[in-house]
Amino acid sequence: MKTKTSDIIKKCATTFLIVLLFISCGQQKKDFKLTTSFVNDDTKRLQIYTGGEGENTVVFESGLGVDGSTWLESGIFDTIGQNAQVIAYDRQGYGKSSAPTDTRGMQALVNDLDFIISKTGMNQKVIIVSHSLGGAIARGYAIQHPDKIKALLFIEPNNENFKQYATMSQAHEEILVQQFMTEKMKGAAMEAAELIENVNFLKKLPPLPNIPIIVITSTKTDYEMTKELVLDWSLAHQSLGKGITNFTQIKTNKSGHFVYLEEPNLVIENIRKLIK
């Protein structure tokens, strides 16, 4: 489990980078129209962000504690939306989406992703771009709905083969839950409460469908991610390529866990590769 509250707080440090990105890319984005709306059924109401059109639909899935607007802030959303339909959303308990009424285990998160894609996708198949916990959600979705997936881009995805995640203690999980509750982030707290159960869910998954897959792995070390942990993290990500003909792992030491905020152009470049 690599996602930490400290990582989420680090988003604030990227504000200056984001401002520069918007200034430098302003002309490219002048025709992009963002629509913010809601989709709902009898049990939930989810806020969605959509824009663009074309032969490809790119769906963005966020990590633990981060809502869908993070992709808009990165500049990735409207850049890709110049030539494709783009979709992001706030999971239950995030932003203006309705609060969860049940547990938020992995299957519930996969079901919500399917709900969003079924309601808003313009094309028969989608490309999913996911970060951290979102990577586990995208993986579960791709395996359960292979007929709806064109390609996958994982950014620092949670993985059961990462020993620090696989051996998470109940005490650690409870600390994360309490941190999110203190920050009044109910959706994140309820997801954090299922992290140990999620490991078992992921262990039981069969291999991914044989579609183009790219995984971006941060190899940057710090006081939390030692060289040994980074190696284990990288190997865990390599395991996603089992049985995949077109699999690429990209390693970067220029950014930490939030690669898409620190190196948005790297993410944009690889989404475009999958679109082509």
Q: Where are the domains of the chain?
A: 5-275
Residue 78 has pLDDT above 90, yes or no: yes
| Residue 204, pLDDT above cutoff 90 | yes
Residue 115 makes CB contacts below 8 A (sequence gap 6+) with 39, 41, 44, 46
The tens digit of pLDDT for each residue in 208-218 reads: 999 999 999 99
Phi, psi (deg, nearest 5) at residue 4: -135, 155
With tokens 């089992």, the residue in question is: 242
Query: What confidence tier does 19 reach under pLDDT thresholds 50, 70, 90?
Result: very low
pLDDT at 24 over 70: no
What are 47's strand-pairing partners? 38
CATH architecture of 5-275: 3-Layer(aba) Sandwich (3.40)
Whether pLDDT at 26 is above 50: no
- In this predicted structure, the answer to whether residue 97 has a pLDDT above a threshold of 80 is yes
Q: Where are the beta strands (DSSP E) in 53-183?
A: 57-61, 85-89, 126-131, 149-155
First to last CA, the chain: 32
Phi-psi region of 54 (alpha: psi -120 to 50; beta: other; left: phi over 0): left
Give pLDDT tens digits for 151-186: 999 999 999 999 999 999 999 999 999 999 999 999
What's the pTM value of the predicted model, to 2 decimals?
0.89
Query: How many CB atoms within 10 Å of residue 54?
Result: 16
